[in-house]
Structures are given as structure tokens and as C-alpha cells.
Amino acid sequence: MDAREVVDRLVKVGVIPVIRYDSADDGAAAVHAALTAGFPTVEITLTMPDAVELIRDFARRAESHQVIGAGTVWNEADCDRVLKAGARYVVSPGLVPGLGAAVHAGKAAYLPGALTPGEIAAALRDGADMVKIFPASSVGPLHLKSVAAVFPGTRFCPTGSVSADNMEDWFKAGASVVGIGNTLFAAAAIRERDHKRLVAQARELLDRVALIPR
């Protein structure tokens, strides 16, 4: 599977669950629930303890239709670690010059963060397969609509305060996929390890995004 195929898979599902918790156990519970519910992907962020080990564990167990991504990757050393662990796409909150080449050398897709037209152009020059609009909460869907108009054919993934309640606005503005973080799962369900409830919440989101024209 090459970078384009990975991005196509992300676009097809419409939502990337962004997994970021204070403990690896909480993160593992969220990843397991998302994959069980039918999400073909999760983004495991390096801000979480033992994130690389989680990537390795879930990548090793992933089924043929599932891809595990790594988030909050800020340098080539961490990029190398997550690629060796099995990450199929690498996400950074902002542009890291040269990181795109490192990601592509590892046969993975690159999703750097950007906000302004200048940053988006720089991300594309550095090899972005999809541009992460971050922090999306600081600009809103109208910003994406404006920048998408001058970057035709570019795939965008807004992340940051995107939720099930506002994701349709982002798709209408030009998002190809959205990243949804901890609002995906109820904190109590994570704390109580209520796997059945967690899976139900993830399936509800999948059902909702499937009804949105894209």
C-alpha cells in the first residue's frame, strides 16, 4: 500500500480517531474500541506515554484493511521510530522541513499541519499527501473554504475541536476527512473500561459520517 492508497482509505472513512490520553492504558482502550467498531484507522499521538509501543502493538495485529497512524511527530528521529513500529501515515502539528522525504522513504503518507496559505503551499512543496488544518478551532470552516478554493485538488483534514456535531460544516467547507479527538469517547466509559459502550459510541460516529454527502 503506497501513500496515495493510505490517503484514499482515510478519505473513504471520513473520520480519523485521534487518540491522545494521559495513560497508555486509556489510549489502548480507545484504540481497541475504535478498531472493533469498524474504523479502519486510528492516529496514535506521541504525546501519549508509550505511544510507539502502542503503534507497534496495534500495527502488528492490524487486519489487511486497517492502517495505524502516528501523530505529533516533530522530527526525523521520531519519524524513524514510528515507521519502524509500523505506522502507515505520519502527522505533524506543523511543517517540519524535510520530514516529507523521510516519511515517503518509509513508504508512508505525510500529513503536516498548516493554517495559512503560505504554510499550506510550503507543506505541499515538502511532499504533503494531505494537509492537516490545525488548530481548526482558531479559524473555523469558512477559513478552510477560502483556502481550499486556491488549492484545488488538495486534500484537507481539519483537526482541533472538530466533533460529531460540527463535522458536517467542515465537509461542506472542503474537508476530505476530519480528525476527532477525545470527544469521540465519553471520559467515564474510558475510565470504567466499558468496552461495549465505547464501541457503541464509535459506531454511532461511523453511522453519522456515512450519512453526510462528501
What residues are labeled active site? 43, 132
Q: Sheet harboring 41-45: ordered strands across? A: 156-158, 131-133, 109-114, 89-92, 67-71, 41-45, 15-19, 178-180
Question: How many angstroms separate the Cα of 26 from the Cα of each of 78, 183, 198, 200, 204?
Answer: 22, 14, 12, 17, 20
